[in-house]
């Protein structure tokens, strides 16, 4: 085992719980996440920036390839920018729904009931535009190759969604394709690839969710213990 030296420190602050407490916490988190839904009807009720900042800090704590943290979260709250993003996204979505998607894909989406109209992109208080960085490094200004970029940004996004849910924020993963317009609107360099948009806010009163999304595979179907 490593001992403390110039490059390592002792694992500090890691929580240790009695076994019954471990199970209680695991089940409590599972219960909490069980009420997470992808929401497509948002309220315009504001959400303060400090709540979003805390959630993004959680996302930024994710493990990543060589700890390069190859992500950037452009948190868009300005009405004009949200409108610009909605316009550009809807233009792509119109192409998608009117042919680009193909029959099989549209068939798979039918039970969710989505279409090219995305009014919630303006109604929701925040659009968190997530970018993946091909190059970077640990320290500001570094220009090194990044590794496992999609895995890393995917993990960070998962933590962000969980953090939002814990804070009482509804979210929607939105991926218009292509999303290159986000670089211009969010003022991000060409070397960054838009990963997805996370819509965040309070759900609208009376918001509906598709029954299809309530079907979750049982443990036996998603896991094996070998």
In the complex, what is the shortest distance from the CB of residue 169 to ligand IYR, in angstroms, rounded to a whole number? 19
CA–CA dist 42, 56 (Å, integer) = 20
**Shorter beta-carbon distance to ligand IYR: residue 136 or 201:** 201
Q: 114-143 mask for ligand IYR (x: CB under 6 A)?
A: x-----------------------------
Order of strands across the sheet that contains 71-76: 71-76, 126-133, 192-201, 170-174
Query: Least separation, in Å, of the C-beta of 100 and ligand IYR?
Result: 10
DSSP conformation class of 213: G
Query: What track of x and - describes contact with ligand IYR for positions 168 through 207 (by CB under 6 A)?
Result: ------xxx-------------------------------
Say how many residues touch ligand IYR, by CB under 6 A: 8
Q: 73 vs 96, which CB is nearer to ligand IYR?
A: 96
The smaller minimum CB distance to ligand IYR, of residues 104 and 143, is found at 104
Residue that is written with structure tokens 């814990």 in the block: 166
User: Which of these, 17, 87, 35, 25, lies nearest to 209 by C-alpha position?
Assistant: 35
Distance in Å, CB of 45 to ligand IYR, minimum: 23
By beta carbon distance, the residue nearest ligand IYR is: 114
Nearer to ligand IYR, 121 or 136 (CB): 121
- Quick check: 93 binds ligand IYR (CB under 6 A)? yes
Shortest distance in whole angstroms from residue 7 CB to ligand IYR: 43
Binding site for ligand IYR (CB under 6 A): 93, 96, 109, 112, 114, 174-176
């Amino acid at each position: 085992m490593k001992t403390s030296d110039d490059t390592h420190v002792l694992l500090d602050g890691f929580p240790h719980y009695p076994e019954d407490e471990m199970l209680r916490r695991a089940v409590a988190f599972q219960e909490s996440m069980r009420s997470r839904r992808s929401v497509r009807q948002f309220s315009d009720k504001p959400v303060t920036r400090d709540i979003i900042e805390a959630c993004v800090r959680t996302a930024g704590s994710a493990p990543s390839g060589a700890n390069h943290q190859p992500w950037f979260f452009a948190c868009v709250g300005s009405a004009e920018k949200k409108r610009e993003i909605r316009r550009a996204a809807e233009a792509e979505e119109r192409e998608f729904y009117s042919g680009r998607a193909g029959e099989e894909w549209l068939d798979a989406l039918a039970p969710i009931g989505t279409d090219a109209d995305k009014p919630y992109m303006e109604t929701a208080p925040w659009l968190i535009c997530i970018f993946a960085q091909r190059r970077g490094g640990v320290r500001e200004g570094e220009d090194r190759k990044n590794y496992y970029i999609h895995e890393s940004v995917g993990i960070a996004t998962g933590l962000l969604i969980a953090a939002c849910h814990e804070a009482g924020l509804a979210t929607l993963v939105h991926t218009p394709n292509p999303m290159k317009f986000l670089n211009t609107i969010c003022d991000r360099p060409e070397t960054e690839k838009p990963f997805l948009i996370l819509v965040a806010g309070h759900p609208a009163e009376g918001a509906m969710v598709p029954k299809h999304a309530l079907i979750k595979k049982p443990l036996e179907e998603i896991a094996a213990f070998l």
